[in-house]
Structure 1
């Protein structure tokens, strides 16, 4: 099963032995994702429905939001402080992937993630789940098959998790192809993608068979886009990119401000309190990772005023900034989708001539480009939300001016010295 990275092409006898480990890792990655998601959802129901009903308090009341987010900060702070491994390194300096973590870190990382997801923190599951799957696949794989390069286990776990998260291997292929183009090496790109795509497909099918996920928002279909739609998409994506960059520029300062507290039992409870106050101001739609909330937002197109939508976008952006700065464990893609959708619908409320599918997908595209700097994944996510083949060409062209705005600018990720990556 050893892979010679120097070989100009990988023959069938090299690729075939990769299928079984890829399937095992992909299915395992999907099952861990589904298990953590189900646990967080059950716990969320207890915290936000069962418990407030038993106490006679409204689950969406301002008081309960502030109390729950502050308590979540205390709980996650205890995990980061006391649990072995401290729930992994500072999440502000982590993107999608990274080097494998020690396996002893995984329980604390997953526990912190579950608490944050259930408690209403504005972060998604992607970063902790990828980190946990990569750590487990690398540790188990190196023991089961020492001859296999460690980088293969990392690629399989990353691909399998991304496939599970999005319910399709396409997102993993796009993300990995973008990463591989940055690395020197010979051989066919598809040879290097073969095993990760098997893992991504296995992870995606596991999620599809067990959970039937859907990212489509039920937006009106844009059957025949024209020049006006293209110009609108370019404008909305560019404006959304500028809006997203505001958080990227503020990120080092917010992280530094929380860092001055120096202890997780100060940083995280204070961050939870701030998130609670923001949630009380913005309402329940600005809580949690944002995937279900963005569907609720999109279902009310036409019933939201531009002021209400602008408020939701600003508060969710601030919540993402605070959650990522104070030490909560989670990813940024799903909250960014909500921010982009709210921003796009705000523009559409101001300019009703813009088609809702154009406004939402272009807003999501611009925000994701600014906050993740992952071009293919941003384009893929925006296109999936619109669920309209005609939008793909429009979004491809709309991504160009937005990319010119964000490239070379600070990212929503820091280096080890606390400076923004560019």
Structure 2
């Protein structure tokens, strides 16, 4: 069965989220909603069965948005290449009114690519508008998830930083994010620069799985720390952030903003994000400490004191609790020039207790030797 994870901005007036709710309520009062001139603002995607009589066929992709005028476009083609789905549209009609019009499209990129099924995973879906000179203008971007929700890759709360990667653009020097997740609620603060001056954007969304679309707001005109109240801040619309968490401490992101002018085009900036440890003098030092091992639905947990660190080479490290004969061995991958644990195994002597393929700074998730879910959770100092 295929399903898609849709993330929409939400405001929850609960006691835990009261500061967040107040900020977003102030934003809605202080800033009128702009005219719906951008297709990307209202873009929603979902996968549906292409035929009730043949559920094994590749699912259809339904695209819904608001078109800025009455002349709705038609689909030229849809293509599937790896994890990229591109949909090319062509404008239709010459006598158009400026009335915003709902648009609904239905395509099947997997079938057009000659595939018998759509793979499970996350896809980057891009909408393009064909221009008179034959070029294509990007007008929409979203992430689409096929299959069950990936909850093991949910992010750890903390500071995340932009790093380079061979596939993506170089890192944005000095730019990063503050991420907080509570349940399915995700809050993001983007720390960056505009014309060389520091600027921050804030947004929130629901994230049941591991992908989210977060519209960002720039708050201006607020109170200075040492000045009296001035009537409260106002909100200015900012870019949107599309997040795909690959693990508790690693994510890919796409920052999207409207291009200047009236061409309805978008600028799309790919980012590679890591939650990095403060301690970098010795690989593995950030994972020393006390941890709790939980296997399956066990009501009893085992506390491990992983204090002894061994770094035999630059590609691995191990942490041991000698009294119990336990060792956590981790393999390091280079992510943007930062040695990052990609896979860890917990062993008792020669016997493997669990393997962990979702590795964060404070949480490791994987499977025990008997196939049950296994977790290592750090105890606070």
TM-score bracket for this pair, using the shorter chain length: under 0.3
Q: TM-score, normalised by structure 1?
A: 0.24
Q: Which protein, 1 or 2, shows the higher relative CO under an 8 Å CA cutoff with sep ≥ 6?
A: 1
Q: Which has the higher helix share?
A: 1
Higher Rg? 2
